[in-house]
C-alpha cells in the first residue's frame, strides 16, 4: 500500500522515495521504495540494513543507497524489517537483548520479511521480478545470505561484512552462516574491510562457495580510517566503510557485480 512520498534536498539531491507497507505473516512492514525515471520494468534490489544500537524505532530510508541503485537503473526497496522504524513487531533489544542464543532465530524471522518483500515487488508493474538482487550490511549481510539460502528468487547477492561483528563470539552465527553458504546457489559478492572486527565470516563463506562452484567474488578492502562515532568502538573501525561515508570505496565493485547478473553489463 502506497502511503506517501518524501523528498530530500542535499548537495547531491536524493531520489524521491515512496514509503510503503507490506505484509509479512501477521506483521505490517515499513519500507522505502525508490525507482528510476521511466516506465520500466526495471530490475530491483532489496537492501537490508544492519543493527541500530537502540535506535530501532527511527525511520532510516538509506537515501544514499537509493541514489546509488536508481542511478544504475534499479528499483531499490529498503525494508525496515520487523521491530525497526514504523514496522510492527518488537525491537531487537526487547526480543534478543544480550541473549546470544536468540540472535539466529531473530535474523531468520527478519529473513521472512525480506522474502515477503519479494512478494510485494511482484505486485509492482514497473519491477521485473525475474531480475532481483539482494544486498545487506552487517546483520543485513547475514539476512542476505539467509535469504539466498531459502529462496531462488534472487539472481545476485551482495554481502557486506555479514557476521563480522559476531563471528568470534557467537557460535550459532558461525554455524548458521556456514549452513546458508552450503545451501545457496546465488552468485554472491562478498565485501569486508581489513580492519573490521574479523574478516573470517566473509572468507569462510567465500571458501564454501568456491568449493561448491557457486559464482562469487570476494573483496577485502584496505583499512578504513575515516573518523567515526560508531558504537562498534576501536575494535572494528572498518565496519563503517559500508556507511555512506565509505561508499567511494566499495560502490563500484557492488554496481559491477550487480550489473553482471541483473543487466548483463559491467560498469
- CATH number for the segment(s) 2-262: 3.40.50.1820
What is the pLDDT at residue 80? 97
What is the pLDDT at residue 266? 59
Domain locations in the chain? 2-262
DSSP annotation string for the chain: -EEEEE---SSSPPPPEEEEEEEETTEEEEEEEE--SSS--EEEEEEE----TT-TTS----HHHHHHHHHTT-EEEEE--TTSTT-SS--HHHHTTT-GGGHHHHHHHHHHHHHHHHHHHTT-TTEEEEEEEEEEETHHHHHHHHHHHH-S--SEEEEESTTTTTTTT-HHHHHHHHHHHHH--S-EEEEEETTSS-SHHHHHHHHHHHHHT--EEEEEEPPP------TTGGG-GGGGGGSGGGHHHHHHHHHHHHHHHHTS---
What is the pLDDT at residue 54? 79
Per-residue pLDDT tens listing for the chain (267 residues) = 333 333 333 345 656 899 999 999 999 999 999 999 999 999 999 999 999 877 899 999 999 999 999 999 999 999 999 999 999 999 999 999 878 899 999 999 999 999 999 999 999 999 999 999 999 999 999 999 999 999 999 999 999 999 999 999 999 999 999 999 999 999 999 999 999 999 999 999 999 999 999 999 999 999 998 755 554 555 799 999 999 999 999 999 999 999 999 998 655
What is the pLDDT at residue 228? 54
What is the pLDDT at residue 7? 34
pTM of the entire structure?
0.92
Amino acid at each position: 500500500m502506497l502511503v506517501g512520498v518524501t523528498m530530500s534536498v542535499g548537495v547531491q539531491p536524493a531520489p524521491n522515495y515512496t514509503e510503503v507497507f507490506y505484509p509479512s505473516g501477521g506483521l505490517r512492514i515499513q519500507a522505502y521504495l525508490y525507482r528510476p525515471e521511466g516506465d520500466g520494468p526495471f530490475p530491483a534490489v532489496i537492501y537490508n540494513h544492519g543493527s541500530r544500537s537502540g535506535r530501532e524505532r527511527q525511520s532510516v530510508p538509506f537515501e544514499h543507497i537509493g541514489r546509488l541503485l536508481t542511478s544504475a537503473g534499479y528499483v531499490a526497496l529498503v525494508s525496515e524489517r520487523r521491530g525497526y522504524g514504523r514496522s510492527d513487531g518488537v525491537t531487537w533489544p526487547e526480543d534478543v537483548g544480550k541473549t546470544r542464543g536468540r540472535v539466529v532465530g531473530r535474523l531468520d524471522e527478519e529473513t521472512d520479511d525480506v522474502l515477503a518483500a519479494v512478494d510485494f515487488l511482484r505486485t509492482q508493474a514497473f519491477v521485473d521480478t525475474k531480475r532481483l538482487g539482494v544486498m545487506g550490511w552487517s546483520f543485513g549481510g547475514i539476512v542476505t545470505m539467509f535469504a539466498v539460502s531459502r529462496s531462488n528468487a534472487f539472481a545476485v547477492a551482495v554481502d557486506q561484512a555479514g557476521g563480522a561483528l559476531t563471528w568470534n563470539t557467537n557460535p550459532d552465527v558461525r554455524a548458521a552462516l556456514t549452513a546458508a553458504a552450503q545451501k545457496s546457489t546465488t552468485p554472491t559478492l562478498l565485501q569486508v574491510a581489513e580492519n573490521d572486527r574479523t574478516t573470517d565470516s566473509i572468507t569462510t563463506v567465500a571458501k564454501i562457495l568456491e568449493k561448491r562452484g557457486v559464482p562469487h567474488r570476494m573483496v577485502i578492502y584496505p583499512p578504513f580510517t575515516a573518523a567515526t562515532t560508531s558504537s562498534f568502538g576501536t575494535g572494528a573501525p572498518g565496519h563503517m566503510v559500508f556507511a555512506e561515508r565509505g561508499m567511494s570505496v566499495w560502490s563500484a565493485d557492488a554496481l559491477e557485480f550487480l550489473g553482471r547478473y541483473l543487466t548483463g553489463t559491467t560498469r
